[in-house]
Structure 1
């Protein structure tokens, strides 16, 4: 077994997989190769610190390449001091090898190496400075998939040398008959093993949390409910996982025999593996928590305390005071340290292979559960479907978080000095477990290091892993802010950043003043309170309510927070000073207490059912909150107390009071806002309705529609408000931000006041997110300044690996399409819906079609208006299951040109139908299905509903009076591939009237031959069985009505993969034949 996991770095292969390779008997490297390897490594040790790349190539890189079975070809120096060669086997080039000066770090040239190898058509590159040998996967440049090996450590460890030589050789890089290299299969096996480990640990976390919750609930718990006990149980789980993360990386003194034997999770795991008595297991866990919280010094053993809430007994009082049975404690440790392997002996979970993101996703999925007590037994149980699911929140894959962070932050760091990078302020307003903040932490730390090197302040050879951990600590201390309404999620965010910035011999980074619990969407500013009446839409009568006193208080708070920022985190005494400063700021006598109470009272007015706060009431509450004794009578006190209760329950968050050092009265704002905010609809539940009412009536949101509310819309508007002028934003949002009518105001603001980057659309059909596979979402980023006259839209991608290729400049599918705002206006009017297109050819087709005819609702064209019939749910009482009356149809009863009316069970009395729908129900009505999708065979499905048939809300009927032949003509157009193509670029799951009304609809004379032909074909198709020949003729007629050339028609037809190819070819052939006449 390899003795030191730090011998290898990178994520190409897991350490546990490398260890299994080293231990396997088949395919072992012979002893002579190991001796040769050691000889080359010994020679490399003779290289001086300032050895040039050529010396590294001669002494180490070339001999090592030959030992690994490669032929070395094409030695060539480069202008930047590197030395490159091509590695081949036989006639096939397999990789590029790059030797670099001994004093340079391999990481610094990775981007250049990837670009050079990719340009040469090579998947792999091997890089070395004589001290480190690294294998880089150039197909995933920004995924940072590589394997690095410490040369001296491998030479000293036979198992490590064995693992390295088995992976990094010509045989593993050479493709087999299937075109795949054995190394690719090794990577796949390693990733599958890790997925299995993560899944097993996920199950273990759930079992451990349930075991602890049950154990805590069996004894006295001070009246605390099961939800509180679940939270404390999770704290214990997170402690154990955190300590294993630290132990696996040598960030606690595992080298000391006393510490390792008495205070490590590894020691407890070994007890379980040995089958020893597990008496004292709970006491051991408690002792570890106390030591982690308090620290210790005994001779040469120094344990630096981990400050913060995780190990604090005050934040888990039931756990601190209770004794859990040792059998339960042993079950918890087993669940969190061991994984079953094919029914055999359980193996230790390799925490060295689990990064912050993997642990974060495991943590966050625990929030899918809601703890409950079994009604019959009283035992604690976990029900799937917790607050995380109910708030539309999902863990974001690392590839996507890193893409958003790179794209958003790169323009802000380009060319900046190191100290200026640390001045950047980056916010995630819905941080969850901190995935985006962790990605930002890593990115800014790397850019800080690069800036140090660029400015001659440090070289890669001067920097150790400890230094780089220190850079991440600096970034976490100075740059990162996060907010989440869920206290457990905020705890997870802290935990993730602690893991990311953890350094040996230092306390945890103090983050309590930057990672906050609060509702990002419900809050206000003192300025807004002074001009807006609470609880309604009117203006305040207290325009001069706040003056110099408020500014002075905010100034004092800003000074305290700047002092927090300036105080280091290097010692536990530093951390305690920060805790005292924050406690002073947040105390009842703190500078912001009265102003926060006033803002709470103002917001609470929207969340007090049955209570109206008038202007005079609010003035009295404000005066009382500021300590004016004249207004301290009981009625005002009761209102203030009620407001405080509501504020606590709903976690109101007043941004300028929480972060006064960033959001200054004279301007300011965050340099960047990033994240993946919740996507849930705001409807149904009372809480959601109250939030929707607040967002519409309080004046704190100005870009929202009057239709269905959605949390992502509010988060986007809030983000644009919080980012400074010229700052950057980068968010993951559902496709609705691009296409939904309810997001029109936001789109107009983005086009008018922001400079948008290329929009990247991600197709979820391969379940990138654990949501419906038919959904799409977008990576939206830009600068909060300027405007966007045209939009570059990247065709949908389905593989997150394409995000790496996008960032490196390599094409991922077809090139992006440029869509002018003028085209968007023609396609959807002021809605400015962005079409779902897959390239420039489709944009050209849309542009041509929207120029060819006026919109269906235009007065210069048909002037059509569609509307719904009855509502199948709300009007259910009108329906009968039998008897006389008009049949009732839904969208499923409509197919192209046909309406199914026979044998329908639902009926409605004729007089009731006429009373509700008027005489329209007595005539033919052109209708189309509401529910549809861009992935269906066709999207627009239209037919003529006969007289005396009632439609429900899943059918839109024509309300404009037209003769039957004109309705047949329009029906033909709606069923055409041409208009289906236009419609499906805008459709989500519904063909709304806004989409139908905007369709380009030619209106030839009723006496024209083309009108007669199209209407006649539609009549024939409506009156008989399906006829592919007639349908083909109709499709061709409509294409020629729009004057489409064969190339444009071919582009349109290619968007209908579910239509048989021969049917599409028939239409294309018919058009070509007519064009040739």
Structure 2
């Protein structure tokens, strides 16, 4: 095979193209093995002798039988030559062998290099043997392709896409796959590495039922006189189609319905079904995938499924296309808005000055960009006509192919394509000095609209980047589907799929698999990064294999590969910029964008108003703050038909972690209420009506008014009980809406004080402080006038217990505090780190940001300006204009209603606004005025003021949690200290007594129960907390306060370092004893009391404690199962249940106060 080696060595045949030909060869094998075994390849009316000749001499089945006999495994190539005759017969038809003209997969352009090569029998039969046989024990078993179902075939297809080819041309040539040498396998492919996994058929069928079935039923009911035409007019698309699993399922369902109607019988014949299936695939099925190999595999799967004996393989190029579904223009109206200025935000390697100049150049009158719609209408009409062309023989198929290519290359399509490519390309062209003239802007877009040409160099750059990044413009790829004329289709009828679940980023391992296996095979990211650095200098091989290095000159090939890597990385950044800034994804193109969220918006927008979408995405699409705009749009717009959540605990997706949660999401025409179910492990559980519940748009808004995201109920009873709780109490903080101000009755402000990684430079260990000569004093360290506060991590705290866990002096070993330690009021748990007191003050003091920011930067001048402005505002609010004038160093003047004349008016307003947001007492502002007048030390003043305005203790909750832990919502009081983000803080403007009531509310079983309906992952975030239904501070009367505060203070004040909290509640005695039984009793009494305050019944409280008590052991819900099991093991009973209900009964009898 010298010609093959020469083509590879010269670069004329890349590893990628060689791999594509090999895959097509495998596709041919799979196609022939299946169709021959199913006896659906030949025309039944073909010459029997010719059929016999094919079967006995030229069929793949014949070669399969020879493959199991080792005597045929020789060095000759007669088997390969026989196969070439077989392939040629199916390419154009061969009557002497009864071969129909299939075309498609068998045309000469599919494997041009391989068909010119030689393959020895021993290699060919070895490959065929592995495709056709396996050993079960000592028995050789033939793979049954005839009866292989779609799921089994699908797993074969997807396993082919897992392969990452590698070609070693050093020494003895060897073609193989990544991981062969280590025995580990590639472990992922272009789709696996982007988070897509083969979808079990049980999940596909659920989406067929929820998305496709209702559309079929509706269309047939609306058009009883023409059912065939209605079915063939349904358009189904998978925008990340892979091997076509969803498309095959949809095609089968539509074909079954069409065959039944055309045959006029409930049980149509196999021939009726195959004829219907061929029509459905031809007219109804569409797909897109970024991976060309996946697209070819999808076409092969459809050909295999829809083959009709004696007829050619259908023309699928127009329906199953290669492209990046997410990058490009979906709706041409996006072009009418022009290129946004944000397209010129500098990316890695861009020149900021060039980017700024391009941004300025882009600012033209948007009215100059008047995109015409006539072009797309013309395309749609022509494309619609092409769809009706027959496909009964190869000549007709070639005529259709030529007509389609003529349409796509015509002026109408090319003009539209250039506009769309230009718009998209603005985000992908590097903004460098040498490239500045090739970066498109609105100037060029407007030129195209007026029929003027754009520079050739720019047009070449656009074409190159469009091909490289596989821009996909939906309205041009499928013009008949996205016809925008009145009454036109304007989208698909059905969208189905399981899109990738990863973020937009360059997959380094995948990128280097073809180009530099030495980097792809690195053991970890650190090693891979080092190898990339060597590659950039052309020194990779020299560093790893110095014995093979030739001279000291950099390797030009390596440097070229590095340049390709830099370009690919830039493309990934460009893609991220496009989805966030282009305007195509207003609902999901935000923050650290995930592909599944973008696809979810695509599923929403690419469907016509009367259609439906059904797809699989992580459950975060409905519950996460980052996708709240998307879920708010579909829930408030009544487009959410159903959401069925699964936990992967039974490995529906074997390659995904068992705790991962994903959902089947169905969208469609407005629906009065959405059907939901959560925590399913298998699709069969969705049949249990007790698991399913319904929510209206108003109920989504009731439960999550700020985000309009989805609560996660295990059962219908949970949904109803939660709605009752939300009607009993307002959410903690209701954010301002368009016509309504913020409702924040507790005066709440949330804070994450320190970030464990970003602020790590501020953290000091025990060893650091000891070596610096500081002295440990209780919970703090001291050195002359400097103190360090402990950093309370969330795991050190539990409900009503700031001494839950401690670290040893090594800062690494942690443990629970012992009972003896907790019973010692002098004991302080030791943290892993300590932080300078001043840093804590800067983050906790109640002061305006200008003051705190200037203090953090140690800018004395700005600190003084900010303090003067703040104090002047306080003086103005008390009408003390004289003091305000001195503070602001201006003369007082009456000028209308303003204090200051001219430019000083704005300063006065700023001062008043600052003091309104951050109130200051008269004593404070007078002290500041006197200090400045006396010329005192601004830093001493600032420190004293801020320390006086910091809290004496902190209230917060543990961010890290699960809804299956003993408790989910864990809040507590801690001494004033440093805390990281995993212990989120709640600052309230209300009194200590109010804070005690708030803490009791948060730590109650009722609040915990609600939190469990909100948390789908491992974090209880601030947006969750804002939306918990918390009793209004004015709902507490004095009896309520007495009952709650006495118990909360006894639970909290067990250590001297929380004396400030006790004093805030009016208690000046000694800390309370730490008695575990007494403490548990108090907690249960509070749980019962808060249940009454929420208006629950005893049965409802029983349900919260354990649904099985009320609904039976088989009820599909749980609340505090882990707590119950823990207590059954420790005490032999569910102690909490008994004590809480006892407290309820005593409250009913008036025995508790």
Interval containing the TM-score (normalised by the shorter chain): 0.7 to 0.9
Which residues in structure 2 correspond to 1:256-405 (within 5 Å)? 256-279=51-74, 284-285=79-80, 287-288=82-83, 291-292=86-87, 294-295=89-90, 301-308=97-104, 310-342=105-137, 344-372=138-166, 379=174, 380-382=176-178, 383-405=186-208
Structure-1 residue corresponding to 2:555: none
- For the structure 1 residues 625 and 259, does the alpha-carbon distance in structure 2 shift closer, same or farther, using more than 3 Å as the test? farther
Alpha-carbon distance change, 665 to 813 in structure 1, aligned in 2, over 3 angstroms: closer
Where do 5+ consecutive residues of structure 2 fail to align? 179-185, 344-361, 507-568, 735-742, 770-787, 812-831, 847-949, 1056-1072, 1107-1118, 1126-1133
SS of equivalent residue, structure 1 residue 671: strand
The aligned counterpart of 1:978 is: 1006
Query: What is the 5 A alignment of 1:712-727?
Result: 712-727=596-611
Query: 1:533 matched to which residue of 2?
Result: 339
Displacement of 1:1019 after TM fit?
Answer: 1.6
- The whole-number CA distance in structure 2 between the counterparts of 1:913 and 1:477 is 68
Larger radius of gyration: 2
Higher relative contact order (CA 8 A, sep 6+): 2
* Distance in structure 1 (CA, Å) of the matches to 2:341 and 2:426: 5
Worse overlay, 603-612 or 372-381: 372-381
Q: Is the 8 A contact 2:428 2:570 kept in 1?
A: no
- Residues 736/506 of structure 1: CA separation in 2 closer, same or farther (3 Å cut): same
How many angstroms apart in 2 are the aligned matches of 1:728 and 1:849? Answer: 34
Looking at structure 2, the residues matched to 972 and 779 of structure 1 have their Cα atoms a distance apart, in angstroms, of: 38
TM superposition score normalised by structure 1: 0.72
- Paired with 2:439 and 2:367, the residues of 1 have a C-alpha distance of 13
SS at match of 1:778: strand
Match of 1:26 in 2: none
Whether contact under 8 Å (1:735, 1:776) holds in the other structure is yes
| Per-residue deviation, 1:817 | 2.0
Deviation at residue 715 of structure 1 after TM alignment: 1.8
In 1, Cα distance between the equivalents of 2:376 and 2:35?
A: 39
Question: Using a 3 Å threshold, how does the CA distance of structure 1 residues 916 and 694 change in structure 2: closer, same or farther?
Answer: farther
Contact 2:616 2:665 in 1 (8 A): yes
Per the alignment, in what secondary structure is the counterpart of residue 205 of structure 2?
helix
Structure 1 pair 1072/969, CA: closer, same or farther in 2 (3 Å)?
Answer: closer
For residues 816-868 of structure 1, what are the alpha-carbon distances to aligned partners after superposition, in whole Å with 9 as ceiling and x for unaligned?
Answer: 32324333223221311221112232122212221222222354532323221
Which of 290, 294, 297 in structure 2 is aligned with 1:485? 290
TM-aligned CA deviation for residue 244 of structure 1: 0.9
- Residue 435 of structure 1, CA deviation: 1.1
The answer to whether structure 1 residue 910 and structure 2 residue 836 are counterparts is yes
Q: Cα distance, 1:576 vs. partner? A: 1.4
- Match of 1:481, SS? strand
SS at match of 1:988: coil
CA pair 319-955 structure 1, distance change in 2 beyond 3 A: farther
Shift of 1:655: 1.2
Q: Secondary structure at the match of 1:567?
A: coil
Unaligned runs of 5+ in 1: 1-211, 807-811
State the partner residue of 1:801: 684
Separation (CA, whole Å) in 1 of partners of 2:958 and 2:84: 61
Bigger drift between 383-392 and 1019-1028 goes to: 1019-1028
1:792 alignment partner in structure 2: 675
- DSSP 3-state at the match of 1:743: helix
Report the more deviating stretch, 610-619 or 271-280.
610-619
- Match among 178, 198, 211 for residue 408 of structure 1: 211
CA distance in 2, matches of 1:301, 1:436: 35
Q: Which residue number corresponds to residue 1015 of structure 1? A: 1048
Q: Structure 1's 936 and 613: CA in aligned 2 closer, same or farther, altered over 3 A?
A: farther
CA distance in 2, matches of 1:306, 1:466: 18
SS at match of 1:830: coil
Query: Per the alignment, in what secondary structure is the counterpart of residue 732 of structure 1?
Result: strand
Give 3-state SS (helix, strand or coil) of 2:286's partner. strand
Instruction: Give 1:446's match in structure 2, choosing from 231, 246, 256.
Output: 256
| Residues 682, 711 of structure 1: 8 Å contact kept | yes
Task: Give me the CA root mean square deviation.
Answer: 3.4
Query: Structure 2 matches for 1:606-755, cutoff 5 A?
Result: 606-610=427-431, 618=441, 621-622=444-445, 631=453, 636-666=455-485, 667-668=488-489, 669-682=491-504, 687=571, 689-704=573-588, 706-755=590-639
Output the CA distance in 1 between the equivalents of 2:6 and 2:996.
69
Please name the residue that 2:816 is paired with.
none
User: 2:918 maps to which residue?
Assistant: none
Residue 229 (structure 1) aligned with residue 18 (structure 2): yes
Output the TM-score relative to the length of structure 2.
0.68
Distance 1:1006 1:864, change over 3 A: farther
Q: Distance in 1 between the 2:974 and 2:214 partners?
A: 57
Q: Could you say if the C-alpha distance between residues 522 and 248 of structure 1 is closer, same or farther in structure 2, counting changes exceeding 3 Å?
A: same
The Cα of 1:993 is off from its aligned counterpart by 0.1
Question: What is the rounded CA distance, in whole Å, between the counterparts of 1:623 and 1:848 in structure 2?
Answer: 57
- C-alpha change, 1:545 and 1:818, in structure 2 (3 Å) is closer
> Do 1:533 and 1:615's aligned partners in 2 also have CA atoms closer than 8 Å?
no
Partner Cα separation in structure 2 for residue 868 and residue 217 of structure 1 = 63
The alpha-carbon deviation at position 348 of structure 1 amounts to 0.9
Match of 2:705 in 1: 829
Structure-2 change in CA distance of 1:269 and 1:238 (3 Å) = same
C-alpha distance in 2 between matches for 1:405 and 1:1017: 58
Q: Secondary structure at the match of 2:427?
A: helix
SS of 1:780's partner is strand
TM-fit CA distance, 1:1060: 1.7
Alignment partners' CA distance in 1, 2:259 and 2:284: 15
Match of 1:515 in 2: 320
| C-alpha distance after superposition, 1:711-735 (max 9, x if no partner) | 2222222222221122222222221
User: Could you tell which deviates more after superposition, 413-422 or 964-973?
Assistant: 964-973
Alignment deviations for residues 579-634 of structure 1 (CA, whole Å, 9 cap, x no partner): 212222333x5531232122111101112242598999546645887996x745xx
**What is the distance in 2 between the residues matched to 1:903 and 1:1043?**
46
**Structure 1 equivalent of residue 419 of structure 2:** 598
**Counterpart secondary structure, 2:967:** coil
The answer on whether the counterparts of 2:240 and 2:289 sit within 8 Å (CA) in structure 1 is yes
Q: 1:783 aligns with which of 653, 668, 677?
A: 668
Contact 1:431-1:437 within 8 A present in 2 as well: yes
Deviation larger for 704-713 or 608-617: 608-617
Change beyond 3 A, Cα 1:923–1:561: same
8 Å CA contact 1:673–1:730 kept in 2: the answer is yes
Distance 1:259 1:315 in 2: 22
C-alpha displacement at 1:697, in angstroms? 1.9
1:864-891 CA-to-partner distances (Å, cap 9, x unmatched) read 2322122222223333342224443433
Instruction: State which drifts further: 707-716 or 414-423.
Output: 707-716
Distance 1:754 1:264, change over 3 A: farther
Q: Partners of 1:362 and 1:332 in 2: how far apart?
A: 15
CA displacement, residues 70-119 of structure 1 (integer Å, 9 cap, x when unaligned): xxxxxxxxxxxxxxxxxxxxxxxxxxxxxxxxxxxxxxxxxxxxxxxxxx
- Greater strand proportion: 1
Distance 2:85 2:1009 in 1: 65
The equivalent residue for 1:1048 is: 1100
